[in-house]
Amino acid sequence: MGGPETPMSVMNKLHELFPDREGFELHQFKIGSYNVVAGPCFELKYSDDAMGVVLLNTPSFFETTFKKWIQAKQKPEESVDELAKRFPSGPISAYFKEKFDQLKEVFDNSELVVTHDFDLLPNRRPKILMRACGQVAGATFFYHPPEEAIGTAGTALLAKKRSGVALHPKYGGYFAYRGVFVFPNVRLPSTFKEKRAAMLLDTVEKQEEAIALYNHHWWDGKYRDCGNPVEKYSDLQLKYFSTLPEQRWPIIAHWFQ
């Protein structure tokens, strides 16, 4: 039986389950750093130096890892419609539920709190702010609306408060947060400092463009291109995620032919 987990042993196990080559990224952060950004309404009641890890998937995940997984789920002679009925909450959610169950088995002797990106509190608030985790861990850079960042918000703008947008330094808006893992008994040392994601939108004009696209044209996904991402979602993946969940199966039906 091994000794207690350390930050290094935890990350090694996580990378085995969520390797970069399969379209994943893992980023560490201190719970105290998250609490400062998230605020009292979303504060996590753990030690400030307890270790948190945020998981996101990159553009390659969909047509490599996810495709192989869902193809393997199809039974012999099973139609796509029959397959779809076995995933009422959608296959993407089912994939990550399965992976997170595997994660709990890997750390069965350690205290671990797993939160999906879609998990809510009874009051319908998210259990954890994924965006805040990604921001403090250096996975993404969060751009505040310019009027908020430079303190020039007027009455008219405040009446139409805009949301900020998180962009990945390599993938722009082509990524998705999938979960957060908290290890209450694994402590990060005082020397640990979270990374800071590169600020690619280095002018107010560029930031304004991204904020406007995200707030007023989010459905066309053009905000994702801000920051000149080096890799993007394929047309198939964009179509899949821009379609209502109950209408997505026909888009990937050719995977099962």
The 3-class secondary structure across the chain, one letter per residue, is CCCCCCHHHHHHHHHHHCCHHHCEEEEEEEHHHHHHHHCHHHCCCCCCCEEEEEEEECHHHHHHHHHHHHHHHCCCCCCHHHHHHCCCCCHHHHHHHHHHHHHHHHCCCCCCEEEECCCECCCCCECCCHHHHHHHHCCCEEECCHHHHCCCCCHHHHHCCCCCEEEECCCECCCEEEEEEEEEEEECCCCCCCCCCCCCCCCHHHHHHHHHHHHHCHHHCHHHHCCCCCCCCCHHHHHHHCCCHHHCHHHHHHHHC
Cα 205 from chain centroid? 27
- Rounded-to-integer distance, Cα 91 and Cα 221, Å: 22
pLDDT for 3 equals 75
Q: Which of 94, 88, 89 lies closest to 72, judged by CA?
A: 94
Cβ contact 201:143 at 8 Å = yes
> Which token pair is 163?
């949301």
To 10 degrees, what angle do helices 130-137 and 31-38 make?
120
- Per-residue model confidence as pLDDT tens for the chain (257 residues): 567 899 999 999 999 999 999 999 999 999 999 999 999 999 999 999 999 999 999 999 999 999 999 999 999 999 999 999 999 999 999 999 999 999 999 998 789 999 999 999 999 999 999 999 999 999 999 999 987 756 554 545 555 789 999 999 999 999 999 999 999 999 999 999 999 999 999 999 999 999 999 999 888 889 999 999 999 999 999 999 999 999 999 999 999 98
Strands 50-57 and 165-167: unpaired
Domain ranges of the chain: 1-140+175-195, 141-173+198-257
